[in-house]
Amino acid sequence: MDIHEYQAKELLKRFGVAVPRGGIAYSPEQAVYRSNELSGDKWVVKAQIHSGARGKAGGVRICSSEEEVAEAAQWMLGRKLVTHQTGPQGKLVGRLYIEEATNIAQEIYLGFVLDRKEERVVVVASAQGGMEIEEISSNEPDSIIRSVVDPAVGMQAFQAREIAFQLGLDAALIPQATKTIIGCYRAMSELDANMVEVNPLVVTTSGEIVALDAKLSFDENALFRRPDISELRDKSQEDQRETYASDRGLSYIGLEGKIGCIVNGAGLAMATLDMIKMAGGEPANFLDVGGGASPERVLMSFKAVLNDKNVEAILVNIFAGINRCDWIAEGVVRAVKELNLKLPLVVRLAGTNVEEGRQLLADSGLNITTADTLTDAASKVVAAWKEASQKEPV
């Protein structure tokens, strides 16, 4: 789960990370009011969306007057910002963060991520801040600093100091940098975050170290014990297909194709996507219905897939272990009837109670195509989709 910049900064403040003063605004009038509260002669108006590269899309503006603040807010609010991270559909701006301007002397990149190979939290830092880490890696690979944190003891002061010295910071700034690095690590560890990124972390002309931007991402599996974090979720920034599915306990990732997939098991789901592509089609989603799926859960899965208006055919691919094929078949029949499904539907069942499941499908009298193998199922659903959409084979 991602959160907004202003929310991430509020969390980091709890752990001793310095951030500029700012306030949230939902209208141009409120944006002007926030700038007056902050006083000063320059302010930064920032669109709050779950995406990086907002500045390149016009989502970050430095303003020198109330009129400029109001104009920037008027332009941003209600607009869909398109960045390389949002895709062509963009993200809707529903709120702004009005922040005091900061005089920058140096920009630094600081990130904390889970390295699954190391099975550790890894600190990634660079003296070349203000860019995406991919750009830094490509343009300044020698500037990247990596430091692995031992989970038994956590981030130690000596380790944070080493990172600060490697960044080339002045000796007088080392205590501040150490506090900031340890604070970010504590936020990640104590809040069950998957990632903490401060980019840029800046040294001001007055000799302060300040998090000018911040991004936190959280482990959704741990949100049950973090109700205060869960409340920060902004569903308007999420793919509505994925939101519908996650609210019902389904593992769903929206894609750009035309063939909807309902599969049990992440590995089988990935294989199914590959086979559809090899057969000449494009999958519309990744959906893992999970183990022990009831007919009701299968029905919910169909509804989740059909929330994508681009879906023109559906493949159900189940290898039942904990699951039972007769439960799946019952759910498929129920979904076709209750949802009045007219799209081509291919079902492949294997495993526990497979004969009972196939018999249920055969006795239903519905227009359901069955398949014995994954290869056969992928070929049939792609052929059915092409025929239904009147497209020639590639």
Binding site residue list for Mg(2+): 199, 213
357: enclosing H helix or E strand = helix 354-363
pTM for the whole structure:
0.78
Given pLDDT bands bounded at 50, 70 and 90, which one contains residue 330?
Answer: very high
Mean pLDDT of 112-133: 88
The DSSP-derived string for 36-98 is: HHH-SS-EEEEE--S-S-TGGGT-EEEESSHHHHHHHHHHHTT-EE--TTT-TT-EE---EEE
Task: Confirm if 161 and 138 have CB atoms less than 8 A apart.
Answer: no
Mean pLDDT of 152-160: 94
By CB atoms closer than 10 A (0-12, 13-18, 19+), residue 261 is: buried
Residue 5 annotated in active site = no
| Structure confidence by residue, pLDDT tens digits, 235-261 | 888 878 888 888 787 888 989 899 999
Q: Is the per-residue pLDDT at 394 higher than 60? A: no
Report how far residue 351's alpha carbon sits from residue 363's, in angstroms, rounded to the nearest whole number.
20
Mean pLDDT of 24-35: 96
Of 5, 6, 97, 109, catalytic: 109
Residue 392 annotated in active site = no
| Residue given tokens 């038994």 in the structure block | 152
Task: Confirm if 294 and 322 have CB atoms less than 8 A apart.
Answer: no
The CATH H-level (homologous superfamily) assignment of domain 239-389 is: Succinyl-CoA synthetase domains (3.40.50.261)
Domain spans, the chain: 1-19+103-238, 21-101, 239-389
Task: Confirm if 146 and 124 have CB atoms less than 8 A apart.
Answer: yes
| Structure confidence by residue, pLDDT tens digits, 172-230 | 999 999 999 999 999 999 999 999 999 999 999 999 999 999 999 998 889 889 999 99
Among 1.10.240.10, 3.30.470.20, 3.30.2130.30, 2.40.37.10, name the CATH number for the domain at 1-19+103-238.
3.30.470.20
Alpha-carbon distances of 146 from 142, 149, 167, 331, rounded to whole Å? 11, 10, 11, 50
Of 6, 97, 197, 330, catalytic: 197
Alpha-carbon distances of 357 from 125, 264, 335, 361, 369, rounded to whole Å? 55, 15, 15, 7, 13
The CATH H-level (homologous superfamily) assignment of domain 21-101 is: ATP-grasp fold, A domain (3.30.1490.20)
Q: Is the per-residue pLDDT at 327 higher than 70? A: yes
Mean pLDDT of 334-357: 93
